[in-house]
Structures are given as C-alpha cells and as structure tokens.
Amino acid sequence: MELHADPLSVEAFHPYGSIISPDEEIATYTSSHGVAENNANQGTAVKLLSVSRVQNSSRAAVPHLNLFRCRTRGRISQGQSWQIAVPLLEQHPQSSQTFIPMGVDSDAVAYIVVVASALPNDASKPDMSTARAFLCRGNQAVTYGEGVWHAPMIAISQEEARTHIDFAVLIYENDSPGHPELDCVEYQLDRPIEVTVTV
C-alpha cells in the first residue's frame, strides 16, 4: 500500500480521533463568532473549550502524562519528497492517546501520523481501506481515538541539527500491581505501508 501524507486538519482527522491545532481552531472560531475575544487569564488569552476528546473505557486505568523523546527518522527539505516504510500498526483498545510536540517551531514540519480504523466486525485488526497518512506541524497535537490503529511516532525535521523531538503524551494506563499491561496491541502488516512526504 502506498500513501501520500496530507496536511493535518481537524476535519480530515475526525474519523480517527481529534487534534489540537491552534491556528486552525482559532480561525474557525473567529469566522463563526466574529473576532475572538480575550476571554481568559484576565483578558490576556483566548480559551477554546473541548478541542480534543480524551477517552477511557477501563475502570482500572489512571491518566498518565508520559514523555517520549523520539529520534528523527529523516530530514525534509522544501520541495523535496521523502519516503518511509511502516511495518506495523498499534492500538490502545481502552484509551485514547494524545501526542503534544514540545519545543518545535510552529510552522516547521515535525512528525507524520499513519492511522487506520479497526475492522467493523473485528477490532483486533486494522481496516486497511481506511488507512491515511498526515503531515503535522510543530504546533499541532494529535489524539488517536480509543481503539484507532496507528503507526509508532515518526518524527522528522526540516532542521539539519535536530536529532529528536520531544512529546508530552497523555494516555490512561493500568498500573495496579499484577497488571503490567499498558493497553497496547501491535499488528504486523503483511507488507509495509510506503508513505511519501512532500513539503
């Protein structure tokens, strides 16, 4: 399977979860409600409610804010194409998972997400007909919906010197004694997904 990474947007990602995209969401709010008022922090901030949905269907799980330091897998140059093979997908059947990039320029390309819905009659397998790839900027966070199949994080960079990207990651995990599992299932693909990225 070959996929081309499309720019991440609220509407395009909706079937797979939700995103946090300040420029897009403030522009949408402004076009719907007029000029966005400074309605928080004593008039110094704009507050948009419930932009990303956190999910959890396990009573034993608790919210964890983890830190991922992801090595960059390639460098993207303006006008150039870059490819990567994705050999497996993973899902979290009982929790959403939010990745928030840290310390990356808001306009810079920062990472790629590859997603697929679960098969309607067998959630233990991805429905490859729904697979999509998205190109994400430094000021965009992504929330994979509960049970959504996704590739492990693919960090990339437009800066030659950048070797990694840090992410704050919110997920519900069962950390009670005797239950070491972290609600993560992997699915090895018969053939890797070939993702092409063009900036």
What is the pLDDT at residue 34? 64
Around 163, how many Cα atoms within 13 Å sit in the side-chain half-sphere?
0
Which residues does 190 contact at the CB level (< 8 Å), separation at least 6?
none
In sequence order, the 6+-apart residues with CB closer than 8 A to the CB of 156 are 72, 73, 74, 75, 76, 82, 109, 110, 111, 112, 197
Residue 41 pLDDT:
86
Strand blocks (E) in the chain: 2-4, 6-7, 17-20, 62-75, 81-91, 97-102, 109-116, 118-119, 122-126, 132-137, 141-144, 149-150, 154-157, 164-173, 185-198
pLDDT at 35: 59
The predicted pLDDT at position 99 comes to: 98
pLDDT given for residue 78 in this prediction = 78
pLDDT for 33 equals 65
Q: What is the pLDDT of residue 76?
A: 81
By the 10 Å C-beta count (0-12 exposed, 13-18 middle, 19+ buried), 67 is classed as exposed
Residues 148 and 91: beta-carbon distance below 8 Å:
yes
Which parts of the chain sit beneath pLDDT 50?
none
Residue showing tokens 């995990």: 173
What is the C-alpha to C-alpha distance for residues 152 and 175, in angstroms, rounded to an integer? Answer: 21
Q: What is the pLDDT of residue 85?
A: 96
Residue 148, SS3 per DSSP: coil
Locate tokens 């983890």: which residue?
66
Where do the domains of the chain lie, and which CATH numbers do they carry? 2-30+51-198 (2.60.120.480)
